[in-house]
Structure 1
Amino acid sequence: MKLLLLLSVAVLGLAAAAPADDLRTLDHSPYPRYIQFPDGDGNMQDVDLEAEPDYELLNEITRNPANNLYLLYTRRNPRNPQTLVMNNANSITSSNFNRNLPTMVVAHGWLSNQKSSLNPVIRDAYLGIADANVIIIEWRRLAMSDYVTAVLGVPAVGRGLGQFLNFLHRTTGAPFDSMHLVGFSLGSHLVGNAGRELGGRVSRVTGLDPAGPLWVYNSNKINQNDARYVEGIHTDGGYLGLGIGDAIGNADFFPNGGKSQPGCLTGICDHNRAWELFAATVTHNHLIGRQCDNAWQITWNNCNGPEHRMGNSDLRKWGVGKYRLNTRRNYPF
């Protein structure tokens, strides 16, 4: 009886210590319980959307949300990163970080790390057009866990990123309106929460095909209040797609209808095309959408509203609405 009581207390204690972002936020409809979701190398992994999360890891992440790796690249060090450390001012002041340059933060997705393909591609696109502080956040401690655990921990990691950027601001005076946060898949919701932590003061948040499973009805997903301008780029948002098919920002783009992409035969390819298109727009600023009145116009390519450029690096960008554009199958699309 005593053992049973102790076990009950332990379970209740674990539940009490669990993050507020618990299973109650995870309505997996319209997805089935068992799905496949790609890792950072493009391999499909089996996912149980009702799996028991790793509460020990979630408690650790929640207690120390700043436990991420922040890697700085500039034109002075375009290939060899400098590590910036939360609450270590010397790591900032002794680095190549320049408060007078734009600061771009890139967040990878699930089962990924600093070496994932999107990071160098987006980094090189930014540094190819101008000098900037490009910071790659590696959150692999959580990203390498099971999908349900990763989803539950993303808000805390996002808050940690927001706290880091606030520390960067306090240490150097770098203004929030010179910051652009870009995330892919789960990383989209991560940067959304980072912007929310900062009260929506950063200039831009861009969600690259924000992850769909366990996010459709999740109050912690990226939204239009996370920055002065929030943009979504949706490339695999069809029925049970890997990305959210609905608008999440001030302006949302649906390349080729937002469900399947030219030259792609798999959902992985469609999903990844979001960051490929974005990187191309940073370099060329050439993809222009037409505003649509409804989903029917997006699907049937019948949008006739005002034009708006997708992606790019413009920190003063603004726009509202849903936009359709068509691309080619190969870079620069």
Structure 2
Amino acid sequence: MAAQGVVVLLLLIAAVSAVPASLDPIISKLDPEGLRYGYLRDDEGTPHLVDSWIKASDLREMARYNPDTDNEYHLYTRSNPLVSQPIVQGNTNLLAASNFDPAKRTIILIHGFLGNILSGFNTVLVPAFLLAGDVNVIVVDWGAGAHFGFNGIASGRSVGRFISWLNQASGANVNNYHILGYSVGAHQAGIVGRSLLGQASYITGMDPADRWISSQALKSDDAVYTEVIHTNIGNIGVEEPCGDVDFYPNGGVNMPGCATAVCDHYRSYFYMGESLATGGFIGTQCASLEEAKAGTCNLEGRLKMGGLQPKTGSTGIYHVRTNAAPPFSQD
């Protein structure tokens, strides 16, 4: 069946390749209920106009990206905190020669739109995790396909296949994974979790992108415990809760010390990094999203945002107050 699907796709690509570029017919409407056009910001904050309808020219371009061969996986551990070791799916000898320890917790980091291994998301969180615990950190570089947000779907499924191979080859357990994604990468983290049948213990979504395909968005059941940090709602980031627990620092927008939406967006992973170091950021539970946005939450529930371990079984919406500069936590 999979082979037939590949043949059909190749025939479709060949067919649309014969169509004059000026016509560029619509092949698929990935989000038919939403707006066709909108802006996505890359990991450096630059806005790019994107079209949620796939055209013939898009299909030809997307066909050039094969996540199973184009994605790169970079391993960092306390034994190699600065220079990564490559892990290549199917290459068991390379895996055996690496510092990957299947008995340790494994962190998967997934950058956003037009990002790569050098994205700020990675440069903040790799050292933060290695300082916080003796873990495996694997950076997913899907930069070869990150020029199309849609490629995040194929990439997420491919990352799931990579993790399944890694577990089979090394004896690692899917329950010992923490998958983190930023912006578009947050939704990709959900797709990875779904491909693992929701068995990963922890997913953290950092300001998931608002401009995304609703059917492929991050959901609470993508992992055993799913946590979301919202820092630029109503602009770059999605406003509605989408995890088991959703934190809205400072109401989810206009972070203290920030003057731009991009700065707000970045704060999501800076807060996550600091939470690994200090364990701060204690949230107050809210009765509703409107209370979280207004900062008027007064329920008795308290919960730490971020951190190394999942808060399995916790649910709800929480408000957190932060400082304008590091240390951001007031706790």
Does TM, normalized by the shorter one, top 0.5?
yes
For residues 171 and 18 of structure 2, what CA distance do their matches in structure 1 show?
Answer: 42
Q: Is the 8 A contact 2:30 2:53 kept in 1?
A: no
Deviation, structure 1 residue 303: 1.0
Q: Is the 8 A contact 1:261 1:270 kept in 2?
A: yes
Structure 1 residue aligned with 2:287: 293
Task: Trace 1:76-155 onto structure 2 (pairs within 5 A).
Answer: 76-143=79-146, 145=147, 150-155=148-153
Structure 2 residue aligned with 1:213: 211
* SS of residue matched to 1:219: helix
Deviation, structure 1 residue 289: 0.9
For residues 49 and 62 of structure 2, what CA distance do their matches in structure 1 show?
Answer: 21
Instruction: Find the partner of 1:264 among 255, 258, 273.
Output: 258
The yes-or-no answer on 1:283 pairing with 2:287 is: no
Letter in 2 for 1:56: R
Structure 2 residue aligned with 1:3: none
For residues 165 and 269 of structure 1, what CA distance do their matches in structure 2 show?
Answer: 32
Q: Is the 8 A contact 1:181 1:191 kept in 2?
A: yes
* SS of residue matched to 1:190: helix
Structure 2 residue aligned with 1:10: 15
Deviation, structure 1 residue 25: 2.6
TM-score, length of structure 1 as denominator length: 0.86
CA shift in 2, pair 1:34/1:8, >3 Å: closer
Structure with greater contact order relative to length (CA < 8 Å, sep ≥ 6) = 1
Structure 1 residue aligned with 2:5: none
Structure 1 residue aligned with 2:230: 234
Structure 2 residue aligned with 1:75: 78
For residues 48 and 150 of structure 2, what CA distance do their matches in structure 1 show?
Answer: 18
* SS of residue matched to 1:169: helix
For residues 161 and 13 of structure 1, what CA distance do their matches in structure 2 show?
Answer: 33
Deviation, structure 1 residue 49: 5.0
Deviation, structure 1 residue 27: 4.2
Instruction: Find the partner of 1:314 among 302, 309, 320.
Output: 309
Deviation, structure 1 residue 56: 2.2
Deviation, structure 1 residue 236: 0.5
Deviation, structure 1 residue 24: 2.8
Deviation, structure 1 residue 67: 3.2
% same residue: 33
The yes-or-no answer on 1:176 pairing with 2:174 is: yes
Structure 1 residue aligned with 2:4: none
**Which whole-Å deviations, capped at 9, do the CAs of 1:192-219 have from their partners, x for residues lacking one?**
101100101111111100011134xx11
Deviation, structure 1 residue 247: 0.7
Deviation, structure 1 residue 57: 3.5
Instruction: Find the partner of 2:30 among 9, 25, 32.
Output: 25
Q: Is the 8 A contact 1:253 1:323 kept in 2?
A: yes
Structure 2 residue aligned with 1:254: 248
Structure 1 residue aligned with 2:3: none
CA shift in 2, pair 1:244/1:123, >3 Å: same
**Which whole-Å deviations, capped at 9, do the CAs of 1:86-129 have from their partners, x for residues lacking one?**
11111211100011111001111011110111102101011112
Structure 1 range deviating more: 51-60 or 185-194: 51-60
Contiguous gaps of at least 5 residues in structure 1: 1-5, 15-21
For residues 323 and 316 of structure 1, what CA distance do their matches in structure 2 show?
Answer: 13
Equivalences, count: 309
CA shift in 2, pair 1:265/1:94, >3 Å: same
**Which whole-Å deviations, capped at 9, do the CAs of 1:7-57 have from their partners, x for residues lacking one?**
99813999xxxxxxx74332474x68353x332223333445557462124
Deviation, structure 1 residue 66: 5.4
